[in-house]
Amino acid sequence: MKITLKDGSVKEYSQPLSVLDVAKDLSEGLARMACVGEVDGVEADLRTILDRDCALNILTAKDEKGLAALRHSASHVMAQAIKRLYPSAKLAIGPSISDGFYYDIDFETPVAAEDLEKIEAEMKKIVKEALPIECFTLPRSEAITFMKEKEEPYKVELIEDLPEGEVISFYKQGEFTDLCAGPHLMNTKDVGKAYKLMSIAGAYWRGDEHNKMLTRIYATAFAKKEELDAYITMMEEAKKRDHRKLGKELGLFMMHEAGPGFPFFLPKGMTLKNTLLDYWREIHKKAGYVEIATPVILNRSLWETSGHWDHYKENMYTTTIDEADYAVKPMNCPGGVLVYASEPRSYRDLPLRMGELGLVHRHEKSGQLHGLMRVRCFTQDDAHIFMTPEQIKDEIKGVANLIDSVYRLFGFQYHVELSTRPEDSMGSDEDWELATSGLKSALDELGIEYVINEGDGAFYGPKIDFHLVDAIGRTWQCGTIQLDFQLPQRFELEYVGADGEKHRPIMIHRVAFGSIERFIGILTEHFAGAFPTWLAPVQVKVLPISDKYLNYAEKVMKELNEAGIRGELDVRSEKIGYKIREAQKSKIPYMLVVGQKEEEEGVVAVRSRFKGDEGQKALADFIANIKKEIADKTIRQMEKKEDLV
């Protein structure tokens, strides 16, 4: 029997043996660290017997799939602990996720955050008991009976959804048995000590708001205690940076029960948003875009032609006008198509780059709403580019370079994914192949590394997604470039070519920020609310030492305003130390302290978020320096980390 390993080497064995046996033969250290195997590309328990020629990859917690198996095993340990402490609890699902795992539980009596410590203590006992984790299977009918006897209705429902004749797998550890496809570790002791229950939330069964609300317990697990500690530190930092908390403290935005998922921007938040939009307009004008605006509500026939009515209707808000069906737009593209079709086009007009800061509405389930990150209405910084086939590659490269310049400005690192044809798609195989190869060749020519995300494209075309990495390592999908052959065909768009004949244009859909609201949330957390000076809602706070110097402070404010600098005057009768601390809490980039000496000499005492006390400066010099910093969109580094928090 020949076993081909990941590095291409081949091991020969004369008799069947388990994945774990092969790991031991290769290295005792590897055997200790091994979590699962991958046999001919299929994940398998370490106990799986190999009795034929195959390819084998042995995965540890350093591998994504190995870590997922460790976390999935930890979720079973957590479920076992819960059943010991709360025997009447009913189990739903408990998968591993990107940063840990969770389990949805139907508790007879409510469980609160303070109960997590008790569950964790019981998990510790189970790990210490070193219970073997064993797999067995049952025919579907017997599996249903088995779960009914255990009074686990959610598991019964899951099994009943599986086809007749299906063999159902279970995993057992001690007195606990759970429905599961696996794979899992070999023993509860292998879960180790690096796990922690993080929080409690509500979750509808199967994500359907018409079903019962279950209790979801979030947790995480790692192979090493140091990795867990680093994760917890990161999560604590994330709490400090939570845009919902900072948005309230800094007066950026609010939510209200009158419109769940529909954000209200407050004056300072509008300043921030408008500054971003001014920047957007500036770079798009330089890149040869024209700006348009299209209606928020359009009739059903338009959405049927575009394909959204068939492929996206469940996310659309609809209404009736003059006894006809209309929809509030979830996307801007059909409006852009109508603008293109509003007049005859020549090849000389192409590429035609049309940008739109369009307000869109999408129905999100209430349980998925999250501050500005997941909302029901937002401004999408769309652009639609209409072009000839020969222009595809250059236009994609131009968009990729524009998106890169935006992200570099804010100091974001990012990675790129190319998402291919989904199952629910429209168009011919030939169009999809041409579109996908066009995106690939553009990325290759730019030298941009990317990974293939199979089946995650839009229903009308493949796409390039840009995933930002923020200040504490979290990733966010924002920018996207989507190549579309379908809408031009469905709307019968045309241009007259150099040959005098009519041709069909190709269309690019693209965003740089994505949702402006979401991008503001990301920026708020990335900078912990301490926005760069050019973006800060208040750039300078003028702080008179006492009421005696209000006249001079007002004179300073007037000159700041005339120079186009966003300033505020603190006129409260408070001590100067208190005013400085309050300005620091508000993340103001600069404070200008003015008193007798400053008034007599016509200067200002500068304190910054970056260096603290920067000494006295002539007001004209300060204004010149800050205007340059704003014009250059400089991101100054913080020298006093405590000013962040």
pLDDT tens-digit map of 172-209: 999 999 999 999 999 999 999 999 999 999 999 998 88
Tell me: pLDDT of 470 over 90.
Answer: no
- The tokens describing 388, both together, are 């000839």
Output the pLDDT for position 433: 86
pLDDT tens-place string over residues 559-584? 999 999 999 999 998 999 999 999 99
Query: In this predicted structure, what is the pLDDT of residue 639?
Result: 54
Task: Report residue 200 as tokens.
Answer: 């409690």
DSSP string covering 134-180:
EEEEEEHHHHHHHHHHTT-HHHHHHHHTSPTTPEEEEEEETTEEEE-
- 38-54 mean pLDDT: 94
What's the pTM? 0.81
Binned at pLDDT 50, 70 and 90, residue 250 comes out as: very high
In this structure, CATH architecture of domain 65-240: 2-Layer Sandwich (3.30)
Tokens coding 454: 């199979």
pLDDT reported for residue 550: 95
**Confidence band of 456 (pLDDT split at 50, 70, 90):** confident
Residue 93 pLDDT > 90? yes
Q: What is the CATH number of domain 540-644?
A: 3.40.50.800
C-alpha–C-alpha distance, residues 439 and 241, integer Å: 36
Q: Is the pLDDT of residue 410 over 80?
A: yes
Structure tokens belonging to residue 401: 């370079």
> How many CB atoms within 10 Å of residue 324?
10
- Chain length of the chain: 645
- 255 within 8 A of 264, measured Cβ to Cβ: yes
The DSSP symbol for 187 reads B
Say what the alpha-carbon torsion angle 250, 252, 256, 262 is, to the nearest 10 degrees: -150
Mean pLDDT of 368-390: 93
- Confidence band of 645 (pLDDT split at 50, 70, 90): very low
Question: What is the pLDDT at residue 641?
Answer: 47
Is pLDDT larger for residue 426 or for residue 540? 540
Residue 642 pLDDT greater than 50, yes or no: no
Catalytic residues: 333, 362, 380, 382, 384, 463, 509
For residue 416, what are the CA distances in angstroms to 224, 293, 466, 470, 613?
30, 29, 5, 15, 42
Domain ranges, ordered by start, for the chain: 2-60, 65-240, 253-526, 540-644
Neighbours of 439 (CB within 10 A): 26
**Over the chain, what is the mean pLDDT?**
93
d(CA 541, CA 580): 9
Task: Provide Rg for the chain, Cα atoms.
Answer: 30
Q: Which of 35-44, 268-277, 452-461, 560-569 has the lowest mean pLDDT?
A: 452-461
Whether the pLDDT of residue 594 is over 70: the answer is: yes
Q: Which CATH class is domain 253-526?
A: alpha beta
Who's near 186: CB < 8 A, 6+ residues apart? Answer: 20, 45, 46, 47, 132, 133
| Cis ω for the linkage preceding 488 (within 30 of 0) | no
What residues are paired with 468 via a beta bridge?
414, 476
Write out pLDDT tens, residues 483-523. Answer: 888 899 999 999 999 999 999 999 999 999 999 999 999 99
- Is the pLDDT confidence value at 643 over 50? no
Give pLDDT, residue 638.
62
Residue with more model confidence, 437 or 345: 345
State mean pLDDT over 605-626: 95
**3-state helix, strand and coil shares in percent for the chain, rounded to the nearest 5:** 40, 30, 30
CATH 3.40.50.300 fits 2-60, yes or no: no
Q: Shortest CA distance to 491 belongs to which of 338, 267, 342?
A: 338
